Structure 1
Amino acid sequence: MHRIKKSTKLDLAPPEAPRFFAATFRDPNQIAAISKWDMDFRQIEDGEMQADFKVRSGPLISVMKFGFSRRVHQIGASPKDHITFGIPTHSRLTDWNGTSIETPPFLSFGSGDEFDCISDSGFGGYTMTVETENAMKIGEKLGIAVSDTEFGAFLLPATPPDRSAALLNDIQTLLANPNSSEQGETHLIEEILRIALGGGADRKEPRINRKALALAAAIDRMTATPDENVPISEICGDISVSLRTLERAFNEKFGIGPKAYYTRLRLNRVRSLLAEQGKDLSISDAANRYGFWHIGQFSQDYKKCFGELPSATVD
């Protein structure tokens, strides 16, 4: 059991002024331009997307508040050489690395660890990212041994309400503070470490079963060939899974079948391409690149999925 000492101020260099960033995007992947995360956010619910971000990057910790208006399949990996934690603020995270979620948990994204989760419309929360070296120093001051391999990907399904409320208050206070606050940042990191290391018995690691493996194999196949529009029956043959099994797996996790998921994956790719290169690339060329050859049908599908025509994305 870890012995907790009284908080002690860190012997670090004078803090720099925090940097702030706030924006609302129609495509949540646009945050990648300023983020160290490896991310691939796939909108899997029809309708206009509003992705809100507010970031405070201080010398010791980076805090991000976020919210998505539509259902999203979130895939990626956390920043390397850092440890990252997350707190959903609403019961809108339904699946995290194969674990079904009922109440907002405390999440550890590890350091460079992969994540795969499903969030419903209205999902929001906070992430806190700390350099591993700083976390180790702060842990040492508290009498906690924090190794660089201590934090992998796990969740704590239940955190004491008073501790959760206190942590949320610390996060919101820091986000609202435009000034340097080494004391506030250090205190927040201390609270995170106490929660993360104090709930070892309740940790839930990512789990893998046969259905999850089949689902992952199908998605990998789709992701590898977003430009080909491969028939689902062919994908089933490639991964040796029946169509019925795959249909059930996709509907249970995403609420849509494999064909609808594949179409949305390709539409998301077109949208990202138009957002990045739309001024230099025609809409038809962008659509053709991802296997959409009937432009009229493509435009209808695009508007249904994102609530806007492709031309609006370019504008």
Structure 2
Amino acid sequence: MSSSPIYQCNVYFGLDIARASDILYGGYFEHRLSSSAQLSLYHQRVTLDDIRLETGNYSFPIIARGCTPSDTICIGFMAHGSDVTRYNTVPIGTDEIQIYPEGTELLYQSSGASRWIIYAVPRAILQQAMRAYSGQDMMLSKENAISLKLPEGSIDSLLRQTNDIFTIAQNNSNSGYREGALNRIQEQLLTSYSKVVCDAMLEFSIEKKSSVSQRHNNLILDSEYFVMSCDDVSTSLINIAQRTGYSLRALELIFRNSVGMSPGKWFLNLRLNGALRDLLMATPMSTVSGIATRWGFQHLSRFSEQYRKTFGEYPSHTLNRSKKREETAFSERELDGQVTP
């Protein structure tokens, strides 16, 4: 039996959402914000031994870059917002589920409010359940994410069961579960998801996403790595174009078609969010100028204005709030005797 809590709920507001990396247990995701207006992230997790059910509800447009857990397959679908959401630059279709192999690099992007569901299960457990249901071995890719088209109404059915599970878990989180009830919930989830995957693979073709989209996603990922690995993270688009072999015009078209913004705006957002995370995690020695320079901003006044326009406050205000929060936490640790004089 897992020693971790059965049910967990986390709520993040405002700029603190940029610190919310543990939205998928065992994975890591970096949130990038484009504004500070009415931001909230409501995250729930149910843990049943090695199997987890997770959901995140965003009230705002979001870019999240990261990777899925290295020890589980993740089966995901959109509870709402599929019409405004992409994974790895590919639009998510209605009545689709996505299956992500262990450790999949993932770019999640939504241009509006959205809610996602992820069912994370070890590969051996899932394939055993699929074999028991279908009577045959049904192998899932260890390398590539795939999309499966489901019959109409299947997503609604999964969503109802998911909501029921979260309600039951939340209501019983304080009193605890009897082992029999826990096992029944676990079996119901495994049966439902293995059935959905088997039926979709047997009756519907796997949605083969465009190889062009995959190349464009790789281009954006490689460009980000290149920018972040340079001593000057404000590396010009000309250098990116020279390295990738694309013209500036081609880069412009690829970014606008794949992520809905120009490459200049994309990398500016990347750098501003990097500075935001550093300011939120500031140490007593941190300075605005030092953080701005680290993220390739050479003109402090221009950086401050760009930051304010994006996040609704000046970087000095974020830094001051972070330092006050750290001072409060330090004082509380002292009172609890956790700090050695």
Question: TM-score by structure 2 length?
Answer: 0.77
- State whether residues 85 and 91 of structure 2, in contact with CA within 8 Å, keep that contact through their aligned partners in structure 1: yes
Cα distance change of structure 1 residues 216 and 31 upon mapping to structure 2, 3 Å threshold: closer
For the residue of structure 2 that corresponds to 1:111, the secondary structure is coil
Equivalence map 1:61-80=2 (5 Å): 61-80=51-70
Could you say which residue in structure 1 is the equivalent of 2:331? none
Cα deviation for residue 231 of structure 1 reads 1.2
Choose the corresponding residue for 2:90, options 93, 99, 108: 99
Could you say which residue in structure 1 is the equivalent of 2:123? 132
Query: Whose helix proportion is higher, 1 or 2?
Result: 2
Cα distance change of structure 1 residues 93 and 305 upon mapping to structure 2, 3 Å threshold: same
Q: Does 1:188 align with 2:189?
A: yes
Equivalence map 1:209-248=2 (5 Å): 209=212, 211-212=216-217, 214-225=219-230, 227-248=232-253
Cα deviation for residue 225 of structure 1 reads 3.2
Could you say which residue in structure 2 is the equivalent of 1:18? 6
Choose the corresponding residue for 2:111, options 109, 120, 127: 120
Choose the corresponding residue for 2:207, options 204, 207, 214: 204
Could you say which residue in structure 2 is the equivalent of 1:272? 277
- State whether residues 17 and 41 of structure 2, in contact with CA within 8 Å, keep that contact through their aligned partners in structure 1: yes
Q: Does 1:32 align with 2:27?
A: no
- State whether residues 153 and 205 of structure 1, in contact with CA within 8 Å, keep that contact through their aligned partners in structure 2: no
Cα distance change of structure 1 residues 104 and 313 upon mapping to structure 2, 3 Å threshold: farther
Take 2:128 and 2:70, find their aligned partners in 1: how far apart are those partners?
18
Moved more, 109-118 or 200-209: 200-209
Q: Does 1:110 align with 2:113?
A: no
Gapped regions of structure 2 (runs ≥ 5):
322-341
Q: Does 1:153 align with 2:145?
A: yes
Cα deviation for residue 257 of structure 1 reads 1.0
Could you say which residue in structure 1 is the equivalent of 2:332? none
C-alpha distance after superposition, 1:158-182 (max 9, x if no partner): 3223322221111111111234322
Question: TM-score by structure 1 length?
Answer: 0.83
Could you say which residue in structure 2 is the equivalent of 1:292? 297
Take 1:183 and 1:83, find their aligned partners in 2: how far apart are those partners?
21
- State whether residues 93 and 104 of structure 1, in contact with CA within 8 Å, keep that contact through their aligned partners in structure 2: no
Could you say which residue in structure 2 is the equivalent of 1:9? none
- State whether residues 70 and 121 of structure 1, in contact with CA within 8 Å, keep that contact through their aligned partners in structure 2: yes
- State whether residues 95 and 155 of structure 2, in contact with CA within 8 Å, keep that contact through their aligned partners in structure 1: no
Cα distance change of structure 1 residues 300 and 52 upon mapping to structure 2, 3 Å threshold: farther
- State whether residues 98 and 212 of structure 1, in contact with CA within 8 Å, keep that contact through their aligned partners in structure 2: yes
Cα deviation for residue 266 of structure 1 reads 0.6
Take 1:211 and 1:302, find their aligned partners in 2: how far apart are those partners?
28
Cα distance change of structure 1 residues 50 and 137 upon mapping to structure 2, 3 Å threshold: same
Take 2:155 and 2:306, find their aligned partners in 1: how far apart are those partners?
42
- State whether residues 90 and 258 of structure 2, in contact with CA within 8 Å, keep that contact through their aligned partners in structure 1: no
- State whether residues 78 and 114 of structure 1, in contact with CA within 8 Å, keep that contact through their aligned partners in structure 2: yes
Could you say which residue in structure 2 is the equivalent of 1:51? 41
- State whether residues 102 and 142 of structure 2, in contact with CA within 8 Å, keep that contact through their aligned partners in structure 1: no
Cα distance change of structure 1 residues 21 and 165 upon mapping to structure 2, 3 Å threshold: same
Moved more, 21-30 or 239-248: 21-30
Q: Does 1:307 align with 2:312?
A: yes
Take 2:118 and 2:318, find their aligned partners in 1: how far apart are those partners?
28
Take 1:95 and 1:33, find their aligned partners in 2: how far apart are those partners?
20
Cα deviation for residue 27 of structure 1 reads 4.7
Cα deviation for residue 96 of structure 1 reads 2.4
C-alpha distance after superposition, 1:87-115 (max 9, x if no partner): 11223443323433342521112222222
Could you say which residue in structure 1 is the equivalent of 2:337? none
Could you say which residue in structure 1 is the equivalent of 2:257? 252
Choose the corresponding residue for 1:173, options 158, 164, 167: 164
Q: Give aligned pairs, total.
A: 301
Take 1:62 and 1:166, find their aligned partners in 2: how far apart are those partners?
18
Take 1:192 and 1:163, find their aligned partners in 2: how far apart are those partners?
11
